[in-house]
Structure formats: C-alpha cells, structure tokens
Structure 1
Amino acid sequence: MSATPVAEVHLADLGFGQGAHLLVQRALAGLPPGGRLAVSGRDPALRVHLPAWCRGRGHRVEWPDRDDRSDLVAVVVRGSADDDRWHGAERAGPAQPSALTRRPPARWGLGARGALLETGGPEARFDLDDRDLVWADIAPHLYAQAAARQWDPQTAVPWDDPFALPADVEAAVVQVMTYLVENEQAALVVPARFVGRIHPHFREVVQLLAVQMADEARHMEVFSRRALLRGAELGTSSAGGRQSLFTLVAESDFALASFLLSVLGEGSFVDLLSFLHQFAPDPVTRRICWLAMQDERRHVVFGMAHLEHQAQVDPLLRDRLRAAIHRRHDALIDTAGLNADVFDALVVLAAGGWRPDDVSTGFDRVRALQDAMDQGRQRRLVRLGFRPDEAAALSALHTRNFM
C-alpha cells in the first residue's frame, strides 16, 4: 500500500446486494477528499462490487497486498464528490419560505424546495411560476392554522340535538342550505383549477389552497346534510344564480379569480354566515354556519394578502381588477340576480314570526345585511388601493347573488 489507511470498515459477510454500500458510504462521509478507508469483508463478490460502486461515485480503489490480512479487500480513496450523479447539481432554491426564488426554473419541476437536484430531469411547466403572482407572506402561517383547525362534520355538529320547527321555517332553512351548497361548489372548483398550475416551489400556497378545497367540501357536506335532516327535498336553484357562479369558475387569471371569489364573494359570504348564525332557528344550523364562517374568514385573509402583495409590485393590477368587475357585471346584467326564494327565506329566518311587524323587521334585517356586505366590500377595495368613491361604485356593481 502507498499509504496507511486512516479509517476502517468491517463488512463481515455482508455483501453489496444486502446493503454493504451503506456502511462504506457512512465511513467515507467522515473523511475529507483524499482520505483513505480500509474495507474488509468475507463476501466473495466484494472485489467486483466495491470498485464498481466506487467508480460511480468518484472514489478510487487501491488493491493492497493481502498477505498481512486475509479479509482486507481494498483501500478506498475518497474522491472530491460522493456520486457522479450530483456533479453539476444545484439546489432547488432555499428551503425557507422567507427566501423564495422569485422565478423558479422549470427544471426544478416537482423537486422539493431546497433539495439537491440530480441533473437531467424533466422540465415540468407551471405557468404560475412567479412569486408575485401567487405569494403572500402570511401563507405559511395560514396553512398551519388551517391544518390545525380542521373539524370533523360528524363530531363538531350536534346533529342529534332535539328541535322542532314549523314547516314553513324548516322550508326556509332548506332553501338557504340549498343556496349555500351551490355557492360552496363553485368555491371549491375555483381553487381546484389553479392548484395544478402553481409551481411547487410555492408549496405553502398550494397547501393552503388544498385545505381551502377541503374546507369547501366539508361545507357542502354539512349544508347538504342540514337541508335533508328532516327528510325534505332540496330547494330551488335559479338560473341567474348559477350563471353568476359560472363567471367565477370560468375566470382563468389567478389574481382575478382570487379577487372575485375571495375578496368580493367570500367576503360577503362571511357576512351572510354571520347573519345566519345570529338568526338560525335551530342549534344545528347555528353551529354549521359558525364553523363555516371561521373557515371562510381564512380564505378572505389569504385573498387579501395575496392581492395586497401583488398590488405593491404591479401598478396595473387595480386596472385589471376594475375591468374584471365591469366585465362580470356586463355578463350578468340580464340575469335576475339573487334567487327570490333565497331572499324570502332569509326574511323568514330573520323575522322569527308571521305578524306584519315581524315580517317588516325580517325584511329590514336582510336589507341591513346587504348594506353590511356592501360596506365590507368597500373597505376591502380601499385596502387594495381604490379611492373610497370608486370603491363604492365598484361594490355597487358586484353580483346581486352575493358570491
């Protein structure tokens, strides 16, 4: 031997077909380039397998005189790299979300952020590959919060609590639940259309949208279950309402879809769920509206944070948002807006009785709800940089279907 090895590894009867390379690899990891490792073992194939393994990883093998030790197979001299596969390899950006790469290249593909990427992999194309198009600094926090606050429809709702409602009040609940289901279906489909387009480098956004979809699926379940709880058939679904929701699903721009759904639609939906929680005639309806409201608030928070971030880097964003509102308004101008059966059902629930004064009070409360929705939309529009007078005008153009 030209030099004395500084480390040894004894493989006994273990061959490379049974994992011997792991012991050799571990021993080499503690040596600097040029370090020497004596490998001993009794497997007859070691003299073939060891040099083959070393060649693929840039290590050199020396064959010593075996007279002094019958089980000494070879001496491995560590090379400068552990594996030729990683020559020229790069990291897929930083692992921490606080130091994201703005435009992750297509060659990073589905590699984990921060991983060492073997060269030669496929280039996976994700068209939403710009941090400023999808990111919000609050996304990791919101995802952690959303994951921790997932609730089980079976155990979180008092389905077995006894209650009895007059038939007309139960019918009003069923109609509102029908309306909520179809709105939540649209709210699930919209993020689903974008999840597969976002570069995995921005995985917290993908994770958050995935949980948002799970939220909407859960809402659809509990609203449907409440509608059918007393054996009734579902209520009516208006053509105008479905057309309004379709304009959300058809929007292909992520920023505009987030704006129309989360900032305008779900923001108003939070007000509606708060209203229903307040005037719910039974414990099941009250509970599911409260649970759904907590989820929807997170959706609005992300939509706002995402668009506020984008507005800082794109001075033309507000022009696009403004145009999206006008375009949607023009598409829906000939529709009837909110299903009249839904409006009437909300009046019944808010009235709490059938005297003329009760109905008048219920009607006023629904009008107050609409005003609260309008004021909320205006506040969110102002936060995105619109002047108060323009925010008022744009809010007035929002679909009468609430979402």
Structure 2
Amino acid sequence: MTNKDASSSPLIDIESVGFDAGAHVFVKHALAALEPGQRLRVVGCAPGFEVQLQDWCRRQGYALEWAIEPGPLNGTRRVASIARDTQWGRWRDAMQTGRSDPRGANAVAEHARPDWGLAARGAHVEAGSPAYAFRLASKHEVWADNVADLYKQAVAAQWDPDDAIDWHVPFDNPPAVEAAVVQVMTYMVENENAALVVPARFLGQLHPHYRELQAALAIQVADEARHVEVFTRRIRHNGYEPSLSTAGGQASLKTLLDEPDFSIASFLLSVLGEGTFVTLLQFLQNHGPDPLTRRIAQLAARDEARHVALGMSHLLYRLEREPVLRMRLAQAIEHRHEALAATSGLNEEVFDALILIAAGEPTLSAITRGYALVQQLMTDMADGRYARLVRLGFERPLARELAWLHTRNFM
C-alpha cells in the first residue's frame, strides 16, 4: 500500500477503503511516523474519499492541500497533502501534565491545573478540555515524600476479617466484663466512623494528579470501614447490641469533620487522635479479657499505625516548606480544647469499661489493678502525643502542654 519517492513526500494509497471502514487509522499511523515539517501524500478510490478525508483533517486539526500529480497509465490524479506539524491532530496545543517539575514528564507538579482534569499524570490534555474545581491542587498542601511507599505497605497489609480472625475461638467472660467490651467497641465504632468520613471528604477535593495520596487515602477509608465491621461483629458476638454514645463524644468528633484545612484535619485526626488510638488498641491487645478482642485490637492497631505514619509524613513535608504552619497547629489544639471545655469529654462508661476490661473480673482487687493500668494508659497516650509533637518540631515545653490539652475523648 505504501510507495515512497526520495524526491517527494511519502505517499500512501488507501485504495478502496473508506474512512467509515478504518482508513483514518492507516492515515493517522502514517502521519505519526513522519518528522515535524514533513507532509504525507494520500490517494484513494473509495466513494466519497475526498470529502471524508477533508472532514477528518478538519476535525483533527490538520492542514490539508490538494494537488494534481501524474497518475498511472500516463494519466493524472488528485492527491491530498497533509502537513505533520510539531503538534498535530488533537495533540495541537495539548497540555502535558507534570511538565512544571524538572525531573520529567511523570514527576509530580507543584500545582495541578484545573484543566488537567482527570487525566493521567504525564498525559497530554487536549485543548478545550473542561476545568475541574479541585480545591486541593497544590503539592505542598497534601504531599508526603514517602506516600507511594506507605500505599504499597497498606496494600500488602490488607486482611480479610473472616480469614484473619478466628470468630469461633472459645471464651467465657463474666457478664460485667463482656458488657464492658461492648461499651468500648461501641465507642470505637463511632470514632472509626469519624476516621472514615474525614479522609473520604478530602478525597473528593483532591486533584487526581496527586494519585499516590489519593490511593493512600482511599485505602485508609477501606481500613476504617473494615474496623467498623469487626468492632460491630465483636459487639454482637454474644448477642449484645451497641451501648451508649454520649453528647460529649459526638461533639468532639464533630470538630474533626468540621475542620476545612487538610493539614490541620490530618494533624488532629491522624497524628493526635489515631496516634492515641494506637496506644488504646495496644492496651486492648495486652489486657483484653479474651483472645477475640485481643486479635481484633492487634490487627486494627497495625492499620492505625500506618494512618499515623501518613499524617506525620505529610506534616513533616509541609512544615519543612511552611514553618509558620506549626503555630496554626498549636492554635487548632487550643481552640478545640476551648470549644469542648463545657462537654463531659470521655464517656464515663468507656473509662469504667476500660477498668473492667483490664481487671478481667468485677472484684475489688482486680478493679484496683485495672484502675492503675488505665491511669498508666492515660499517661502513655499523653507521652505518645508529646513524642509526635516533638518530632514535628514543637519546643518541648509547648509539646508537653499541648499533649495534655488534647481532648479527653482521646480522638
């Protein structure tokens, strides 16, 4: 089908194949093989060929010219000549996503343009594509250097509740202790609902250019959904129903959902709240009264530790570029503490339930031991918050003060 004369532009003959039968693919392929500035000559004998070719070139943005050239058997023929520009067809004036980063076409841009839309990073976006209003469209607002690694770790660490947990393991808790487990699991469910909704809310505001973070947040949402499932199954394991949810606890969680800033929300939820929850889950793993509760706490703690790592990595990234953010983070803790000062804080039933869980039985000596363990838990939680705040660059006296200012509701 192809004939190339060294003294002229390349020539292709599409013969009797019409543009309604795939001829355009052959023409497009031949054009792509040319160097910018070259022209492609096209002949054919399909009915309506000239009109079809002219219409196709117009829609694709190609410059088309016609010429009369010598033809077979000493005759003449009408030949189309199509220019191969530097940007051709639908690639004309297309924007390459990620070009602002000098490391290459697939590098992450500092700012993602609205008219990049949903395109894959590194793709060319055809001119005239619609703009999307993604609120989180700047790298410094959302990024973490190790976000891709954290996502890979999360994928590798996924677990199936039916396979990872032995739901038939035998145990027989005293009724008071089993009721305490139900109360704590009820409390855990509502907190995990908050930990699910917050990243899910920001997912819809995040520019898809930052796809590694998008994937990490999506799997975090999946983690929390799984936690809600297993905590709920533990509640109902012995025929119980969920227990009490307090106004103070709900008010505390609402402040997380109301926070509009991604970094501050990550700080309050992941670094402080979920960081504290890791300590709580480890407490349940060590002191839970039955193997089922201990196994659930162990698996959930692993997931929550990854969520904390993502929040810490993002904040370290942003604080390196925007140190003034540290003051806003401190103010966020203080304002939240003031807003919740009139609430009861931690559900009293949850605090007492933790004592009974650590005690293992409702006897005076056991409860005394459980109370001491829960007091140590509170200290361990504050120490964990303090260590993370210091790592984020807070001065030690301020870090200690802020660690103890954190809401009494843990999350």
**TM-score, normalised relative to structure 2:** 0.89
Alignment equivalent of 2:96, drawn from 91, 95, 98: 91
1:183 aligns with 2:188: no
Structure 2 Cα separation of the partners of residues 187 and 92 of structure 1: 32
Q: How does 1:134-283 map to 2 (within 5 A)?
A: 134-283=142-291
1:54 aligns with 2:57: yes
SS of the residue corresponding to residue 298 of structure 1 reads helix
Which residue in the other structure is 1:115 paired with?
123
Please identify, of 57-66 and 123-132, the stretch whose mean Cα deviation from structure 2 is larger.
57-66
Structure 1 Cα separation of the partners of residues 230 and 74 of structure 2: 74
Structure 2 Cα separation of the partners of residues 108 and 180 of structure 1: 40
Percentage of identical aligned residues = 49
SS of the residue corresponding to residue 201 of structure 1 reads coil
Structure 2 Cα separation of the partners of residues 57 and 69 of structure 1: 34
1:45 aligns with 2:48: yes
Which residue in the other structure is 2:379 paired with?
371
Structure 2 Cα separation of the partners of residues 34 and 98 of structure 1: 27
Structure 2 Cα separation of the partners of residues 98 and 114 of structure 1: 5
Alignment equivalent of 1:26, drawn from 29, 36, 41: 29
Query: When the two structures are aligned, how many residues end up with a matched partner?
Result: 403
1:388 aligns with 2:359: no
Give the deviation of 1:106 after TM superposition. 2.5
Structure 2 Cα separation of the partners of residues 97 and 32 of structure 1: 21
Please identify, of 53-62 and 217-226, the stretch whose mean Cα deviation from structure 2 is larger.
53-62
Structure 1 residue identity aligned to 2:238: R
Structure 1 Cα separation of the partners of residues 74 and 280 of structure 2: 83
Structure 1 Cα separation of the partners of residues 203 and 86 of structure 2: 37
For structure 2, list consecutive stretches of 5 or more residues without a partner in the other structure: none
Alignment equivalent of 1:67, drawn from 62, 66, 72: 72
Alignment equivalent of 1:336, drawn from 317, 339, 344: 344
Structure 2 Cα separation of the partners of residues 53 and 77 of structure 1: 11
Give the deviation of 1:113 after TM superposition. 2.0
Q: How does 1:303-322 map to 2 (within 5 A)?
A: 303-322=311-330
- 8 Å CA contact 1:244–1:401 kept in 2: the answer is yes
Structure 1 Cα separation of the partners of residues 297 and 408 of structure 2: 21
- Would the alpha carbon gap of residues 9 and 164 (structure 1) be closer, same or farther in structure 2, given more than 3 Å must change? farther
- Would the alpha carbon gap of residues 104 and 182 (structure 1) be closer, same or farther in structure 2, given more than 3 Å must change? same
Please identify, of 73-82 and 153-162, the stretch whose mean Cα deviation from structure 2 is larger.
73-82
Structure 1 Cα separation of the partners of residues 78 and 49 of structure 2: 7
Structure 1 Cα separation of the partners of residues 62 and 253 of structure 2: 60
SS of the residue corresponding to residue 171 of structure 1 reads helix
Structure 1 Cα separation of the partners of residues 164 and 142 of structure 2: 32
- Would the alpha carbon gap of residues 97 and 184 (structure 1) be closer, same or farther in structure 2, given more than 3 Å must change? farther
Structure 2 Cα separation of the partners of residues 392 and 319 of structure 1: 15
Backbone CA RMSD of aligned residues? 2.7
Structure 1 Cα separation of the partners of residues 5 and 106 of structure 2: 50
- 8 Å CA contact 1:58–1:82 kept in 2: the answer is no
Structure 2 Cα separation of the partners of residues 229 and 7 of structure 1: 76
Please identify, of 351-360 and 369-378, the stretch whose mean Cα deviation from structure 2 is larger.
351-360
Structure 2 Cα separation of the partners of residues 34 and 318 of structure 1: 55
Q: Kindly provide the CA deviation profile for residues 145-181 of structure 1, in whole angstroms up to 9, marking residues without a partner as x.
A: 2233222223222223333333222211111110100
For structure 1, list consecutive stretches of 5 or more residues without a partner in the other structure: none
Q: Kindly provide the CA deviation profile for residues 337-362 of structure 1, in whole angstroms up to 9, marking residues without a partner as x.
A: 11111111111111123333222111
- 8 Å CA contact 2:259–2:265 kept in 1: the answer is yes
Alignment equivalent of 1:284, drawn from 292, 304, 310: 292
**TM-score, normalised relative to structure 1:** 0.91
Please identify, of 303-312 and 267-276, the stretch whose mean Cα deviation from structure 2 is larger.
303-312
- Would the alpha carbon gap of residues 33 and 306 (structure 1) be closer, same or farther in structure 2, given more than 3 Å must change? closer
SS of the residue corresponding to residue 327 of structure 1 reads helix
- 8 Å CA contact 1:41–1:73 kept in 2: the answer is no
Please identify, of 232-241 and 1-10, the stretch whose mean Cα deviation from structure 2 is larger.
1-10
